[in-house]
């Protein structure tokens, strides 16, 4: 685990992701795409029907969030992380197509973890309860697909120093499991 934050520029690469370890604090700059359950279901349908995707996942990062409307003078409203396991049925489809990062909260399934290790994708955690602070790291935001989904539409965000923590690295590290083992109290 690094002591200083690691700065990453999107698009990410497998080679760049290989140096990351669980617990590393990372500051992401560049483009993030937002997508939640409904958008992922539509992406799955597009893949099944061999239709174009709303964005090219190669080297990209998806942030699982449904932001609130932007306040005057802000690019985006509060945008906290969504529980990532809800996207588990769909995530391998994007990972297999080059997705290199996901941001959310909570555990991932073994199927997703295996796909991540195989294809060089890292799962980052964003801290719950910091939705307004995370939104302050967004300098541009635009809906790029599925506008009818409202907050769950796919957005293209341009971020600067977006703070996340590596939860699952390419070596099989799992911050949730490691944290439980480290802080578990003995049973008396």
pLDDT of 117 above 70: yes
Domain 11-183 fold: fumarase (3.20.130)
Question: Backbone phi, then psi, for 113, in 5-degree steps?
Answer: -60, -40
Which helix or strand (DSSP H or E) is residue 48 part of? Answer: helix 37-48
Cα dist from 136 to 31, 54, 118, 132, whole Å: 15, 25, 34, 6
Q: What percent of the chain has pLDDT over 90?
A: 86
Calpha distance 188→111 (Å, rounded): 36
pLDDT of 2 above 70: no
Dihedral sign from CA coordinates of 174, 180, 182, 186: negative
| Antiparallel, parallel or unpaired: β 154-168 and 25-34 | antiparallel
What residues does each domain of the chain span?
11-183
| CB proximity list for 90: less than 8 A, separation 6 or greater | 40, 41, 43, 44
Q: What is the pTM of this model?
A: 0.93
Q: What are 40's two structure tokens?
A: 């992922």
Average confidence score pLDDT of the chain: 94
Q: What is the pLDDT of residues 155-173, one digit of tens each?
A: 999 999 999 999 999 999 9
């Amino acid at each position: 685990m690094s002591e200083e934050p690691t700065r990453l520029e999107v698009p990410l690469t497998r080679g760049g992701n290989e140096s990351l370890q669980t617990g590393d604090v990372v500051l992401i700059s560049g483009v993030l795409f937002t997508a939640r359950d409904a958008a992922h279901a539509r992406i799955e349908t597009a893949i099944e029907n061999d239709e174009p995707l709303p964005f090219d996942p190669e080297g990209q990062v998806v942030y699982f969030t449904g932001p609130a409307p932007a306040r005057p003078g802000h690019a985006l409203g509060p945008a906290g992380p969504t529980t990532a396991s809800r996207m588990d049925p769909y995530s391998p489809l994007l990972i297999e197509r080059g997705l290199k990062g996901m941001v959310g909260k909570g555990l991932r399934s073994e199927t997703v973890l295996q796909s991540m290790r195989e294809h060089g994708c890292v799962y980052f955690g964003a801290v719950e309860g910091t939705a307004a602070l995370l939104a302050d790291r967004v300098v541009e935001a635009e809906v790029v697909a599925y506008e009818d989904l409202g907050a769950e539409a796919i957005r293209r965000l341009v971020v600067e120093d977006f703070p996340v923590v590596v939860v699952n690295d390419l070596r099989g590290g799992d911050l949730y499991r490691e944290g439980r083992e480290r802080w578990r109290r003995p049973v008396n």
